[in-house]
Structure 1
Amino acid sequence: MYPTPVERWSPTGRTLYKASLPVALFLWLLPLIAVLVTSVRPSGELMNGNYWGWPKDFALFENYRTVLFGSPMLHYFLNSCLITFPSVVGSIALAAMAGFALATYPFKGNHAILGTFVAGNFVPIQVLMIPVRQLTLHLHLYNTVWGLVLFHVSFQTGFCTLFLRNFIKELPYELVEAARIEGANEWQLFYRIILPLIAPALAALAILVFTFVWNDYFWALCLTQGDDAAPVTVGVAALKGQWTTAWNLVSAGSILAALPSVGLFFAMQKHFVAGLTFGATKG
């Protein structure tokens, strides 16, 4: 039923397995290495067709300085921050309260509401493109930062609610009963008992939602026009010229756009792993 542990494999199988790991890692990292090398390649080498060879000269500072100060990239970064941080806080705050209610109160329709949250995660986002765009136009939220914030909060809340509801459901219900016997009201129970206990889950969820929203390109392209509210993902695509594309600048912009998500993950890696393994063992 379960895969055989590697320690029990035959010597030949273990040797092939160990030999395949570096090959698989290289193939996985190859596109990233290509983008990184291209980001420091001078434009002249690209014009001469040197796409995959090692650069003869390096234009690290020139390319990144052009991207940061010769284009609206800093404005795109600011838009991404204005979109991402409120979206993360709003979706997790709503999901924590909804997950607490669904996990604690056995009211009529509890499972139906939970099923609605679950079903919403299976709706293809392409199906929602036209109605969501029309809705933002009617509400005068098209091409605004708050339009993207409201969409991401509403779209991410379903996944976050399902995630947190399951974590809260695993907590000992005796803690809830004991707090109520001591006279704690529901808000005190939520803020002082539940939230501290699910802090690892909140940290892991914050990293996931931050990555989802920061790296979003589809909805940023559908709900924005121009540079006013465009996030960094759209800004990287805007680095392409009308007639030719400076792939070294596009690659440099892609590296800069990916740094916040990568940096946040490594900074919060301990909390992320703790949140994913929270409740995995008992006793």
Structure 2
Amino acid sequence: MYPLPVEKWKPANRVLYKMSLPVALIIWLLPMIAVLITSVRSTDELSRGNYWGWPEHITLLANYREALTASPMLHYFWNSVLITVPAVAGSIALASMAGFALAVYRFRGNMLLFGTFVAGNFVPIQILMIPVRDLTLQLGLFNTVSSLILFHIAFQTGFCALFLRNFIKQLPFELVEAARIEGAGEWTVFFRIVLPLIRPALAALGILVFTFVWNDYFWALCLTQGDDAAPITVGVAALKGQWTTAWNLVSAGSILAALPSVAMFFAMQRQFVAGLTFGATKG
């Protein structure tokens, strides 16, 4: 039923597997390597068509300094922080309460509500573009940071609730019953018992939602106009010139935009792995 561990494979298959891993890793990382090398090329090399060769001159500091100063990149970066942090906190807070209610309480329409959360994750986001844009215009929220925060909270809460409900469902229900017998209220059960037990899941979910929101380009383009509320993903696109594009600056801006997500993953790597394997074993 389950695949055999690598240690139990035949020697030939095991050697082939270990040889194919570096090749697959290089192929997977090739676009990122190309962007990283392009970010340190000079403009003269790119104009001569040297796209794939090793850079003749490493212009690391010059390219990254110009990427930060040629456009309001720091302003875009701050907008992304203002959007991502409240969106992650809000969606996880709402989803943890919704997941707790769906997993612990038995009420009429429980499965219907849970099915609604599941079905919402299958809705293509492109078909929501016009209704969401019209709604922000009617509410006076178009081209504001608040519109992106509210949208991401609303859109991510469904996925987060589905994620956390399944984790909470795996907890021993006897813990909740014992706490209730001891006189603990529902909020006490939620804050003192359930949340500490699902902390690895919350950490893993926080990294995922942070990555989704930080790297969002579609909704940032639909709900903003100009530089006032634009996040860093739109700011990188603004590095393109009207007539020509300095791909070394665009690559440098892309690397700068990706650094927070990469740094957060490595900083919380242990919690992320623990959250993904939470509840995988019994006993």
Normalized against structure 1, the TM-score is what? 0.97
State yes or no: 1:185 paired with 2:185.
yes
Query: Which amino acid counterpart does residue 176 of structure 1 have in structure 2?
Result: V
Distance in 1, Cα, partners of 2:189 & 2:210: 27
CA contact under 8 A between 2:70 and 2:239: conserved in structure 1?
A: no
Q: Secondary structure at the match of 2:89?
A: helix
* CA drift at 1:140: 0.8
* CA drift at 1:234: 0.7
Mark the runs of 5 or more structure 1 residues left unpaired by the alignment.
none
Q: Percent identity?
A: 77
CA contact under 8 A between 2:71 and 2:238: conserved in structure 1?
A: no
Distance in 1, Cα, partners of 2:231 & 2:50: 31
Report 1:71-220 matches (<5 A): 71-220=71-220
Return closer, same or farther for 1:169/1:11 CA change in 2, 3 Å cut-off: closer
Tell me what 1:282 maps to: 282
Distance in 2, Cα, partners of 1:102 & 1:25: 40
Return closer, same or farther for 1:171/1:207 CA change in 2, 3 Å cut-off: same
* CA drift at 1:11: 3.6
Distance in 2, Cα, partners of 1:276 & 1:212: 17
Distance in 1, Cα, partners of 2:184 & 2:12: 62
Q: Secondary structure at the match of 1:229?
A: coil
Query: Which amino acid counterpart does residue 132 of structure 1 have in structure 2?
Result: V
Distance in 1, Cα, partners of 2:270 & 2:10: 35
Distance in 1, Cα, partners of 2:125 & 2:21: 35
Greater shift in the superposed pair: 225-234 or 22-31: 22-31
Deviations 1:69-111 (A, max 9, x none): 2311000000000000000000000001111111111011100
* CA drift at 1:14: 3.0
Distance in 2, Cα, partners of 1:274 & 1:148: 30
Tell me what 1:248 maps to: 248
Distance in 2, Cα, partners of 1:100 & 1:7: 40
RMSD of equivalent CA atoms: 1.2
Distance in 1, Cα, partners of 2:51 & 2:83: 35
Query: Which amino acid counterpart does residue 263 of structure 1 have in structure 2?
Result: A
State yes or no: 1:67 paired with 2:67.
yes
Q: Secondary structure at the match of 1:174?
A: helix
Deviations 1:39-68 (A, max 9, x none): 011111111111111111111111111111
Tell me what 2:271 maps to: 271
CA contact under 8 A between 2:224 and 2:230: conserved in structure 1?
A: yes
Deviations 1:9-64 (A, max 9, x none): 44433333222222211111111111001101111111111111111111111111
Query: Which amino acid counterpart does residue 256 of structure 2 have in structure 1?
Result: L
Distance in 2, Cα, partners of 1:215 & 1:117: 23
State yes or no: 1:55 paired with 2:24.
no
* CA drift at 1:8: 4.3
> How many residues of Structure 1 are paired with residues of Structure 2 in the alignment?
283
Mark the runs of 5 or more structure 2 residues left unpaired by the alignment.
none
Runs ≥4 in structure 1, deviation > 4 angstroms? Answer: none
